[in-house]
Amino acid sequence: MTSPPSQAGELKKDTRARMGFGSRCLIRIAQGRIILVGIAFLVFVVSALLWFLMEPSQDGKPVSYWILNLGTSGSGSEAALDKLGPERTIPYLLRALRGKYQPVSGWQRFYARHYAKIPTFLRKRLAAPLPGLAHARVDRVQVHAAYYLVHLAEHHPSEARMAVSQLVPLLEHSDGNTRFSAGIALSGFGSNAAPAIPAIENLLLSNPGKIHDIMLIVLEKCGPQAKRTIPALQQYLGSATGHSRIQCAKTLWRLDSSQADFVRPVAHKLSAAKDPRTRLECASLLWRMDKDAALVVPILIGLLKENYQPFDFRTLLLLKQIGPAARDAIPALAERLNRTDRESSFRSLAEEALRAMRGPAAAPAITNASNLAPIGSRQ
């Protein structure tokens, strides 16, 4: 017997429906697998990208963490960076010196925004994005990063030298602290900082307002190669004021001692400035140039008589260097010690300066308690 036409049609429809349902299930399963594979691939790609973006680390903390904590007592940052080595730390030190602590790429910004959403098991294996910094702390970190570059230049000169080409453009940066920090860093490279000479010369001639004293010290340390800047320094000397002017005078003389007649009148004039640091620099320069104690010692006596003098140590060192010719400063130094309470290292240096000023003949008398009373009574 055969099925009626109507039943046969319904059977075909039912068969097609079942086949369609099965096909749709298979398609959905295939699509699900594709999605799972896609997700797995995406996780792999993201993980790989995050891995490549991760910074070198020491003791479980990224290099930026140690840089941000440079100068913090007990942080161990310098020791950690020493272990990482110059090749791995210099790129991040330069980034810090530029003041760049926030993510710089679109991906890194995305990472910082969505870090908290990453599954815990994966997040534990990834470096946390660095927090933002107040501007005042940015300035501090820039300076400490610069001083650490000086440290690298001293202990790893060949490896650290790679930083010079990236530091030089920062001397003309719009931010003053960035320029200052770049100058600090370059001051540690000695004559290897010679690529900075044209940039500093250009600032002296065309934009002297951007000059920091440390840039002039960089020129001094470059030695004879920096003599090309003498005309620019002479021009700057005529327009600079205060401490910048005496630093310019010092740089001129150190680069070329024949500039003494050009420099001496500036030092004489500024030796009466209100700023104690400027007066001390003048005294130091005049002593190096002419060894004229009659001119220099009165400046140092004036510094000893001031109630607050953050440059006491340098004053004592200069008095010790001058020796017996500075004998007239003994009463001022004794009085200074009587009215101030300073650390033992200061008092020890004061004793050395007194011995030098009293001279060899007076050395035995120094051991007498009455002669050291002004010093010993404070210890």
Using H for helix, E for strand and C for coil, what is the string for the chain?
CCCCHHHHHHHHHHHHHHHHHHHHHHHHHHHHHHHHHHHHHHHHHHHHHHHHHCCCEECCEEHHHHHHCCCCCCCCHHHHHHHHCHHHHHHHHHHHHCCCCCCCCHHHHHHHHHHHHCCHHHHCCCCCCCCCCCHHHHHHHHHHHHHHHHHHHHHCHHHHHHHHHHHHHHHHCCCHHHHHHHHHHHCCCHHHHHHHHHHHHHHHHHCHHHCCHHHHHHHHHHHHHHHHHHHHHHHHHHHCCHHHHHHHHHHHHHHCHHHHHHHHHHHHHHCCCCCHHHHHHHHHHHHHHHCCHHHHHHHHHHHHCCCCCCCHHHHHHHHHHHHHHHHHHHHHHHHHHHCCCCCHHHHHHHHHHHHHHHCHHHHHHHCCCCCCHHHHCCC
pLDDT at site 52: 44
In this structure, of 5-19, 134-148, 169-183, 320-334, the range with the lowest mean pLDDT score is 5-19
Asked whether residue 288 carries a pLDDT value surpassing 80, the answer given is: yes
Average pLDDT for 337-355: 85
| 145: amino acid identity, one letter | A
| pLDDT of 379 over the 50 cut | no
CB of 225 within 8 A of CB of 197? yes
Question: Tell me, what amino acid is at 190?
Answer: G
- Percentage of the chain surpassing pLDDT 70? 74
The confidence band for 15, taking pLDDT boundaries of 50, 70 and 90, is: low
User: pLDDT tier at 117 (50, 70, 90 boundaries)?
Assistant: confident
What was the pLDDT predicted at 375? 36
**Closest Cα to residue 283, out of 322, 336, 337?**
322
pLDDT surpasses 70 at 33 = no
Round the average pLDDT of the chain to a whole number and report it: 82
Q: What is the pLDDT of residue 346?
A: 85
Confidence band of 120 (pLDDT split at 50, 70, 90): confident
Integer Cα distance of 157 and 142 in angstroms: 21
Answering whether pTM is above 0.75, one says no
Q: Per-residue pLDDT for 101 more than 80?
A: no
Q: Where is average pLDDT lowest: 136-140, 246-250, 366-370?
A: 366-370
pLDDT band at 367 (very low <50, low <70, confident <90, very high): very low
Q: Which of 334, 323, 331 is nearest to 361 (CA)?
A: 323
